Every structure is written in C-alpha cells, then in structure tokens.
Structure 1
C-alpha cells in the first residue's frame, strides 16, 4: 500500500489558500529539493477539483526545460476528487467522483508507489479526518493571514512525528511529519 504525501504552503496561522502571497518570499532552490524528495517515488497525484482546475492550465504547457517538475506533473496519473467534473482535460487524468474515504483507500492499495497531494484543502481536511494522510510536507511562511481556510480547520486531533525540518534563507521553514498511528 502506498503512502499519501500532502504538500502545502501555509502561513504561521495555518492558512493554506491560493498561494500568491508566497511570491514575495521567492523560491529557495532547497525548497525544490524538498519537493522533489516528496515526489521521488510517487506514482500518482491526487487533487481536488479546484486545485486541478488551477494546475491544469499552469502545468500542462510547461516543459522540463522551463520547470524540472513539469514531467512529473504532466506525465504522472492524476486522480481528481470531484462531484461536478465528469471528464478530465489534462492528460493522464481520471475523475474518481465525490470524496469517499473507501475510494481513497482503494487508490492507496492500487497505485504502486506513493501518492502526492498538493493544495486541495477540502480534500486534505477530509483525508486528515479519516486518517488517510501518511506524511505532511509543510512549507511554513513567516506571516499570518488572519482569514482564510486553515489546514486543520475542523479536523479531529491526530499525532504526527517530526521526520525532518529545514530553515531557508527566505524565512520559510520546511517541516515533514509522519502520521504517528
């Protein structure tokens, strides 16, 4: 069974909305290395509809020369949780229907490697509530947002174990947690 690895850009107060607010901090190359590590043996990408609809036009035209993450994002099978989409428009996409914990469990069992999740806050909160997230890869930015969707808003208490952390020159802190049970 593969792991589900969630990657989020978040503020100090836990907000994970559309990350334009991260741009002023730049992207430290070491952040790319951490993301590459999170994706290393992933054989699937799991996305909610909103993130899928944001990612498809942003990633589908990119090449490896423009962004080293483009082959992974474009060539890897994408599973989309949505109650409104009927057909994917991005290559290697499958709509799995509305959120259902059993469907996600079956994906974990059928995908040969790990499954990568980016953004997709509603989906991630549901998976956290159902104990389906195995790793959190959080890039914590040195600001508070006050308002906005929180990563852990409304989820039950869960324990995680720190696996790794790094601080970058742009003030961002990367923390990787494993689900503790």
Structure 2
C-alpha cells in the first residue's frame, strides 16, 4: 500500500471532531463544557441563595435574647439581628449575581456568534470568573455570619460552624487565587 492510499477502517474509527483535524471544534467543546459546568454551579447557588434569603422572616420577627438563654452569651440580640441582616444581604447579592449571569448565558445561547472568538471569548471567561468569585465569597461569608448567630445561642456548635466556614473561605480564596493566576 502506498503512502497516498489510506485505510478506510482507520479513517472511520477516528472521531469526526478530532483536535488534529479541527482544533477549533475542540476549543468549542471545551467552552461548551465550561458553560454547562457554570450553569450547574449557578443552579446550585440559586437554590442555596433562596434558602438563605428566607432568613428575612427571622430578621423582622421577634427573636430570643441570647442573654436570657445563656448568661455568658457572646452577642446581644441587636448584634444577632445585624448578623442575620448581613447574611441575608449577602445571599441576596449572590442571588442577584446568579440572575445576571443566567441572563448573560441565555443571551449567549440565543446569539452564539456574538462574541466567543478570540479576545471576546477571554472577556466572557473573565466575566464568568468574576461572577463565580463574587458568588462564592458572598455565600461563604453569609454562612460565616449565620455561624456567628449560632455562637450567640449554642456557643460550641457555633464555633465549630465558624471554623468550618473559615476553612471553606480559606479553600475558596486559595482556589480562586489559583484560577486568577
């Protein structure tokens, strides 16, 4: 067999979108996977933020005074209410970023040629990374403030929750720094 002839069995077994044949389709596949992954992340955070935003009812209702439950309570009722308010606000911020991100992804889906080439693709990826970073930081910080609320009522469990939230924050900061560099 000469070098100009090709074996049809070998050709038929090769994938049609082989990166050796079409590097652009391989890159498009990677972009689609990234978008799918980001959409899954957004759906999860959407559910989590709705759950967290439900703390609003607690903020405006009468809550127990931690000093009446424990004479050595770390925080007063007003401080607990402030912590709950900050946590609620952070969940709402995350919810807003998720909503904007989902809208932008819907726009990209409806206008597939509107900017996934070259420099524009990098801008969209950076925008997604910024959104992801802000979402992660706001949700973890919201849980940190909810953990501090827990400290006011059940100190030992609250401090464990603060430690876990702080560990999650440290891990997120390290992973976000690695993504940005």
Same fold (TM over 0.5): no
**Relative to total residues, which structure has the larger helix share, 1 or 2?**
2
TM-score, normalised to structure 2's length? 0.26
Structure showing greater relative contact order (alpha-carbon pairs closer than 8 Å, 6 or more residues apart): 1
Greater fraction of residues in strand: 1
